[in-house]
Amino acid sequence: MEKLLTNIVRAVFPDSILKFVPKIYYNFNKIRFNFFKRPVLEKETSKARTRREKQNFFNLYCNGNGLDIGYGGDAITKNCDGFDIEDGDAHYIKKVINNKYDYVYSSHLLEHLDEPAIAIKNWWKVIKKNGFLILYIPDRDLYEKKKTLPSRFSLDHKYFFTLDKDELPDTLGLIPLIKNNLSDFKIISSEICSEGLTITDPYLHSNGEYSIEVILQKIYD
């Protein structure tokens, strides 16, 4: 949906108008999904399912009560809680901030946020001791295929991401972001996932997986 919207508005509207489109789109969804249930969709999380099943991901990291932040209709498990635009600001997750979860998962959301550091600090608060934070975001070089904003494929990407290196002002390293803002964690795994990726043309939207996946365990509460 977002990819189609991006292509349409870029063909029709000048740059001075484009900056307002994401806000209009998200406000529309906020209203819509307060009245209607989100449809079940197959998005980035679904793309990773086969790989994760091979890695025993779900048995290892998705037991107990879970929270999927920014799930967009494509939740990591059937029984986890979902948090999205209709529930509030993902930086602060006020609707669930007093809850405690065995795992928190977020797919392709951090790049849309103005302050990723604030977000992961608050997401960390709701995780139980020995629980997991699973971050899954587009890799700059596999998805954006350029080093500076704006994104060719999203009107709303605030940052690009690499796994381990900041290239400011446009690119954040996910590992440095974690190390600078969280404590009492163990990095269980960190990898660049490219299962099924065959499109490398910088002007074409990538297929398959084109994402960074980092799994953290909370050592102390």
Q: Mind listing the pLDDT tens digit for each residue in 42-83?
A: 999 999 999 999 999 999 999 999 999 999 999 999 999 999
The model's pTM is 0.92
Residue 179 is which amino acid?
A: K
Sheet holding 185-193, edge to edge: 81-83, 66-69, 101-107, 127-138, 211-218, 185-193
Model confidence over 86-124: pLDDT tens digits?
Answer: 999 999 999 999 999 999 999 999 999 999 999 999 999
**pLDDT of 80:** 98
Which helix (H) or strand (E) segment holds residue 66: the answer is strand 66-69
Q: How many residues does the chain have?
A: 221
Instruction: Note the Cα 205 to chain centre separation in Å.
Output: 17
